């Protein structure tokens, strides 16, 4: 019999946006398939949307079917500080909650899980855009693993915002420079128009930028950074990042059977589009992008 205390146990907390929830769920199932115990935490608002998108799934426990297949994945939710019916256009309210209210609820929940879990919790895996993980991980003596769900190139652009600012390509009072950016470590020349849209804003304290600035200060204290990318595709960028901080490519992390997922990952209700597809002429091609 395997000693339960020897099993690694990770608390995973996804960022409450579609493109972040999906890879986090896939990573949870992969780790559980390799012997991890996972306690997966969704915000209450995210949980409500996932439950609604699959009304015939296992009720309040999105991982019930995964456990039936032998995976040790526990599931819980945390109050994100704003109501489920929050107006999605009210970005300011959402950001203020994520910055100041949400961390308090997470701290309380993590403490409860740490005190009551068997096997003991070893690490906290949290999306890079969260602004609190290192502080909470240190408080409960957990290894802090930061999960970056986008390409390593995007990470290093954010990581070097100070360079963009000092060279006048971002947040310049005289207007941002328009010439090629060729000084970011691990990044070949990139045009300013290829930067993320909110790095092209002239006003540098938009709600989204507040999250970016604070989260990328926070990630500098992470023990490890894992990235949903492929080593061979971003070797130069990953190698450069790894010289500063442990940074590892673990992608692609979607399941090989992702079309038959036993865990709800879509925040939108499923619908049958067969009739719509059949309506078009046979020569029309459709391309499906998996996110």
Domain boundaries, the chain: 4-279
pLDDT digits (tens, 9 = 90+) for 4-23: 667 999 999 999 888 899 89
Structure confidence by residue, pLDDT tens digits, 121-134:
999 999 999 999 99
Task: Mark out the alpha helices in the chain (DSSP H runs).
Answer: 18-33, 44-53, 64-68, 91-96, 102-116, 133-139, 152-159, 161-166, 207-218, 235-242, 274-279
Could you tell me what percent of the chain has a pLDDT over 70?
81
**DSSP for residue 82:** S
Task: List C-alpha distances in Å: 95 to 100, 157, 203.
Answer: 9, 22, 17
- The pLDDT assigned to 259 comes to 46
Report the pLDDT averaged over residues 243-272: 71
Please tell us whether the domain made up of 4-279 is placed in CATH 3.40.50.2000. yes
pTM for this predicted structure: 0.86
Report the DSSP pairing between strands 143-148 and 224-227.
parallel
DSSP state letters, 190-237: B-GGGS-GGGS-SSS--HHHHHHHHHHHHGGG-SEEEESS-TTTSHHH
The Cα–Cα gap between 230 and 252 comes to 6
């Amino acid at each position: 019999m395997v000693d339960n205390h020897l099993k690694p146990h990770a608390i995973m907390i996804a960022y409450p946006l579609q493109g972040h929830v999906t890879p986090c769920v896939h990573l949870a199932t992969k780790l559980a398939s390799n012997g991890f115990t996972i306690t997966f935490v969704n915000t209450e608002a995210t949980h409500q949307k996932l439950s609604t998108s699959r009304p015939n799934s296992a009720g309040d426990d999105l991982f019930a079917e995964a456990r039936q297949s032998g995976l040790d994945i526990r599931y819980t939710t945390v109050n994100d500080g704003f109501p489920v019916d929050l107006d999605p256009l009210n970005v300011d309210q959402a950001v203020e909650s994520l910055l100041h209210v949400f961390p308090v609820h997470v701290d309380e929940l993590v403490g409860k899980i740490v005190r009551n879990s068997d096997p003991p919790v070893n690490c906290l895996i949290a999306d890079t855009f969260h602004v609190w993980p290192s502080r909470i991980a240190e408080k409960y003596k957990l290894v802090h693993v930061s999960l970056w769900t986008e390409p390593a190139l995007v990470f290093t652009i954010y990581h070097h915002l100070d360079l963009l600012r000092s060279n006048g390509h971002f947040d310049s009072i005289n207007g941002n420079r328009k010439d090629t950016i060729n000084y970011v470590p691990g990044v070949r020349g990139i045009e300013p128009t290829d930067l993320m849209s909110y790095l092209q804003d002239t006003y540098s304290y938009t709600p989204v930028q507040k999250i970016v600035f604070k989260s990328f200060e926070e990630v500098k204290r992470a023990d490890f950074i894992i990235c949903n990318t492929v080593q061979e595709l971003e070797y130069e960028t990953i190698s450069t990042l790894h010289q500063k901080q442990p940074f590892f490519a673990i992608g692609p992390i979607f399941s090989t059977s992702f079309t038959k997922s036993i865990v709800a990952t879509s925040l939108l209700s499923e619908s049958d589009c067969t009739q719509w597809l059949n309506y078009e002429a046979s020569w029309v091609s459709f391309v499906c992008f998996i996110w």
